[in-house]
């Protein structure tokens, strides 16, 4: 489950003028260090996002980058990378 919100916000909220968050992912042995190594996963308009994985990927590392997309479809800057083991 991936939760996202405006930085510094105390509640689950997108920044003003934002349509949603692009979620990009790489599944590999080590954490991805570049968004260019990731594949587009989803454009989600409401937090949280739940990604489903096949059992064959259990124990592998998934790295994620997100970026806000405004209502005109223009993406903002990338988030910091974060990763987790697939259960």
pLDDT, greater one: 36 or 21: 21
pLDDT at position 10 is: 67
pLDDT at position 37 is: 85
Instruction: Give me the residues paired with residue 28 across strands.
Output: 61
Q: What is the mean pLDDT of the chain?
A: 89
Nearest to 41 by CA among 65, 20, 57, 5: 65
CA distance 17 to 42: 19
DSSP conformation class of 29: S
């Amino acid at each position: 489950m991936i939760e996202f919100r405006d930085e510094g916000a105390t509640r689950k909220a997108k920044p003003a003028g934002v349509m949603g968050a692009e979620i990009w992912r790489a599944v590999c042995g080590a954490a991805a260090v570049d968004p260019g190594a990731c594949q587009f996963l989803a454009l989600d308009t409401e937090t949280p996002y739940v990604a489903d994985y096949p059992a064959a990927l259990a124990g592998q590392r998934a790295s994620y980058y997100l970026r806000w997309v405004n209502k005109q479809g223009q993406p903002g800057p990338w988030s910091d990378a974060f990763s987790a083991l697939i259960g």
